[in-house]
């Protein structure tokens, strides 16, 4: 019996050592594991909000139509109806947020037309394509076609 | 409140083009306070994309829009999305058993379009394949991350925690689709977020917004009214590398067997 008490002293030290180790582990863990880690899975849940927090560059066609309903309804009537405003006019979220602070630009038409309508073997056969040099004879596309209502 | 013609048209367009919730959120987005918009519930969405290869004209507007929207470095090898052109030469009738060997190119990721390099010849086949992160439901890149810096969000988007990423590049190697790169400015990994900042505000992705032929369309598989259900039903669709069982959620209509 006496000998077991002597053993208990050794055990007590051992337990103390383990307790100190556990404390150190918990301390280091609290310092290293970020807030929100493990809430939704094996990741920091705040990262979702970080990804959400980016500013917009493209406002979306609905925002354009809020003010430019004339252009939007013209576009909707023709074969370019499915094309978003910013496909040609570029990213305009800043302009949509404050029209005075950021002016919209008028793009140069011909390079944009050619980008989609120059003949290319890889393009779907049903897509309207031309050889610009033969088709236009040097004149600009906008001389004959209006980008919003492209039919001649 | 009086409703004049201009206001009626604006509201009608807004509600037609956006979903109801998005239309409600739009004023807050326009004011630059998107976080104040009515809540976005991750549990009620499961994002996917539908890509119609037969509709892609290789204009590259999606690549350009992605770079601008997400502030992606200009070089082609830093691309969250890119477009590949496949060219398959006419079959050699003397050796019909030979495999198709497609010639694939993607000049500048397709950002400035594709100058014609192949002459139309009898029997040749060519088409464009837009590529992006497949937002796998069982993503290999997530599985290899040693620190939990990349993850599948509850609404089905594979995202990166840029504050927590070590830049160890395991995920870059693990992605079977080559969709990840190391951002040279931060030395952390970067990839398509499916425009998470846009889709959670009721907008579509930048690439889908500018696609002139609707070859790309964002879809929410948890929304029963989303047109993606009809698209997936009406087309024969395939995902890339289905044999890898990644649970890819970018569905391709008209995908050729030669596409890797």
Position A8 confidence tier, pLDDT thresholds 50, 70, 90: confident
Q: Using one digit for the tens of pLDDT, what is the confidence trace for A27-76? A: 999 999 999 999 999 999 999 999 999 999 999 999 999 999 999 999 99
Taking the C-alpha atoms of residue B103 and residue B144, their distance in angstroms, rounded to an integer, is 32
| Phi, psi (degrees; rounded to nearest 5) at A42 | -80, 60
Where exactly are the structural domains of chain A?
Answer: 2-52, 56-104, 108-152
The pLDDT score that the predictor gives to residue B96 is 85
Q: Which of A51, A87, A122 sits opposite B212 (nearest CB)?
A: A87
Give me the mean pLDDT over the A95-117 stretch.
90
Closest C-alpha to B155, from B135, B176, B131: B135
Taking the C-alpha atoms of residue B97 and residue B210, their distance in angstroms, rounded to an integer, is 41
Restricting to A residues 108-147, those with a Cβ less than 8 Å away from any Cβ of B are: 115-116, 118-124, 127
The pLDDT score that the predictor gives to residue B17 is 54
Q: Using one digit for the tens of pLDDT, what is the confidence trace for B152-210? A: 999 999 999 999 999 999 999 999 999 999 999 999 999 999 999 999 999 999 999 99
- Distance of residue A69 Cα from the nearest chain B Cα, in angstroms: 7
- Longest Cα pair distance anywhere in chain A, in angstroms? 111
Instruction: Kindly determine whether residue A44 and residue B61, on different chains, have CB atoms separated by under 8 Å.
Output: no
Q: Which of A34, A51, A73 sits opposite B193 (nearest CB)?
A: A51
Instruction: Kindly determine whether residue A83 and residue B212, on different chains, have CB atoms separated by under 8 Å.
Output: yes
**pLDDT higher than threshold 80 for residue B15:** no
Q: Using one digit for the tens of pLDDT, what is the confidence trace for B95-117? A: 888 887 899 999 999 999 999 88
Give me the mean pLDDT over the B236-257 stretch.
96
The pLDDT score that the predictor gives to residue B119 is 73
Taking the C-alpha atoms of residue B33 and residue B25, their distance in angstroms, rounded to an integer, is 10
The pLDDT score that the predictor gives to residue B1 is 46
Taking the C-alpha atoms of residue B24 and residue B31, their distance in angstroms, rounded to an integer, is 13
Mean pLDDT of chain B: 89
Taking the C-alpha atoms of residue A135 and residue B68, their distance in angstroms, rounded to an integer, is 32
Taking the C-alpha atoms of residue B207 and residue A51, their distance in angstroms, rounded to an integer, is 17
Instruction: Kindly determine whether residue A87 and residue B210, on different chains, have CB atoms separated by under 8 Å.
Output: yes
Position B26 confidence tier, pLDDT thresholds 50, 70, 90: low
A101 at interface of B, judged by CB pairs closer than 8 A: no
Q: Which residue has the tokens 């140069």?
A: A108
Cβ proximity of B191 and B70 under 8 Å: no
Instruction: State the burial class of residue B205 (Cβ atoms within 10 Å of its Cβ: 0-12, 13-18, 19+).
Output: buried
Q: Own/partner pairs for B225-228, CB < 8 Å, 24+ apart?
A: B228/B48, B228/B50
Which residue of chain B is at minimal alpha-carbon distance from A67?
B10
Position A138 confidence tier, pLDDT thresholds 50, 70, 90: confident
Rounding to the nearest 10 degrees, give the CA dihedral for residues A137, A110, B126, B55: -130
Percent share of chain B, pLDDT over 90: 76
The pLDDT score that the predictor gives to residue B25 is 59
Cβ proximity of B238 and B52 under 8 Å: no
Taking the C-alpha atoms of residue B58 and residue A129, their distance in angstroms, rounded to an integer, is 12
Tell me which architecture the domain covering B45-260 has in CATH. 2-Layer Sandwich (3.30)
Q: Which residue has the tokens 């002293």?
A: A9
Taking the C-alpha atoms of residue A140 and residue A111, their distance in angstroms, rounded to an integer, is 10
DSSP helix/strand/coil, B204:
coil
A84 at interface of B, judged by CB pairs closer than 8 A: yes
Instruction: Kindly determine whether residue B18 and residue A37, on different chains, have CB atoms separated by under 8 Å.
Output: no
Restricting to A residues 31-50, those with a Cβ less than 8 Å away from any Cβ of B are: 34, 37, 40-44, 47-48, 50
Which residue of chain A is at minimal alpha-carbon distance from B151?
A43
- Helix, strand, coil share (%) of chain A residues, nearest 5: 55, 5, 45
Cβ proximity of B57 and B110 under 8 Å: no
**pLDDT higher than threshold 90 for residue B38:** no
Mean pLDDT of chain A: 91
Mutate to test the interface with B, among A35, A46, A50, A62 (most CBs of B within 10 A): A62
Q: Which of A37, A55, A118 sits opposite B148 (nearest CB)?
A: A37
Instruction: Kindly determine whether residue B151 and residue A84, on different chains, have CB atoms separated by under 8 Å.
Output: no
Q: Which residue has the tokens 């201009």?
A: B6
Position B2 confidence tier, pLDDT thresholds 50, 70, 90: low
**pLDDT higher than threshold 60 for residue B62:** yes
Among the listed ranges B33-37, B61-65, B98-102, which one has the minimum average pLDDT value?
B33-37
- Between chain A and chain B, the number of residue pairs with CB atoms below 8 A apart is 170
The pLDDT score that the predictor gives to residue B36 is 47
B16's enclosing H/E stretch is helix B5-17
Cα B40 to Cα A116, B8, B44, B217: the distances in Å are 36, 27, 8, 20
**pLDDT higher than threshold 90 for residue A104:** no
Cα B178 to Cα B52, B127, B134, B168, B175: the distances in Å are 20, 20, 10, 16, 6
Taking the C-alpha atoms of residue A67 and residue B9, their distance in angstroms, rounded to an integer, is 10
Closest C-alpha to B202, from B66, B19, B48, B33: B19
Instruction: Kindly determine whether residue B196 and residue A119, on different chains, have CB atoms separated by under 8 Å.
Output: no
Where exactly are the structural domains of chain B?
Answer: 1-39, 45-260
Which residue of chain A is at minimal alpha-carbon distance from B104?
A122
The pLDDT score that the predictor gives to residue A64 is 95
Cα A40 to Cα A4, A34, A45, A46, B154: the distances in Å are 49, 13, 6, 10, 8
Mutate to test the interface with A, among B20, B28, B53, B57 (most CBs of A within 10 A): B57
The pLDDT score that the predictor gives to residue B95 is 87
């Amino acid at each position: 019996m006496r000998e077991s008490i002597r053993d208990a002293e050794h055990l007590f030290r051992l337990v103390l050592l383990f307790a100190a180790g556990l404390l150190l582990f918990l301390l280091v863990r609290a310092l290293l594991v970020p807030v929100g880690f493990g809430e939704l899975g094996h990741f920091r849940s705040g990262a979702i909000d970080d990804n959400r927090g980016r500013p917009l560059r493209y406002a979306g066609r609905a925002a354009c139509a809020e003010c430019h309903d004339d252009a939007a309804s013209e576009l909707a009537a023709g074969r370019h109806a499915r094309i978003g405003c910013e496909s040609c006019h570029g990213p305009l979220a800043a302009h949509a947020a404050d029209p005075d602070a950021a002016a919209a630009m008028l793009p140069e038409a011909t390079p944009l037309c050619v980008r989609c309508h120059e003949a290319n073997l890889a393009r779907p056969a049903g897509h309207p394509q031309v050889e610009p040099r033969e088709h236009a004879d040097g004149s600009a596309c906008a001389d004959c076609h209006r980008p919003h209502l492209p039919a001649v | 409140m009086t409703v004049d013609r201009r206001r009626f048209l604006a509201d009608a367009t807004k509600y037609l083009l956006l979903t109801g919730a998005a239309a409600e959120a739009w004023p807050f987005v326009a004011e630059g306070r998107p976080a104040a918009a009515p809540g976005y519930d991750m549990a009620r969405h499961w994002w996917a994309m539908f890509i119609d290869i037969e509709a892609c004209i290789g204009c590259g507007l999606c690549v350009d829009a992605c770079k601008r929207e997400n502030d992606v470095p200009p070089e082609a090898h830093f691309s969250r999305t890119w477009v590949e052109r496949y060219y398959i030469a006419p079959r050699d009738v003397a050796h019909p058993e030979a495999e198709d060997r497609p010639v694939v190119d993607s000049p500048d990721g397709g950002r400035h379009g594709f100058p014609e390099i192949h002459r139309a010849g009898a029997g040749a086949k060519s088409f464009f394949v837009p590529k992006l992160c497949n937002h796998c439901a069982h993503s290999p890149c997530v599985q290899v991350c040693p620190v939990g810096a990349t993850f599948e969000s509850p609404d089905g988007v594979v995202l990166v925690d840029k504050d927590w990423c070590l830049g160890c590049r395991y995920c870059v190697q693990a992605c079977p689709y080559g969709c990840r790169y190391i951002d040279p400015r931060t030395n952390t990994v970067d990839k398509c977020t499916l425009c998470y900042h846009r889709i959670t505000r009721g907008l579509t992705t930048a690439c889908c917004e500018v696609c002139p032929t609707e070859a790309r369309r964002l879809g929410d598989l948890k929304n029963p009214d989303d047109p993606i259900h009809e698209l997936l039903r009406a087309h024969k669709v395939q995902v890339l590398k289905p044999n890898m069982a990644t649970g890819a959620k970018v569905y391709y209509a008209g995908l050729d067997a030669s596409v890797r």
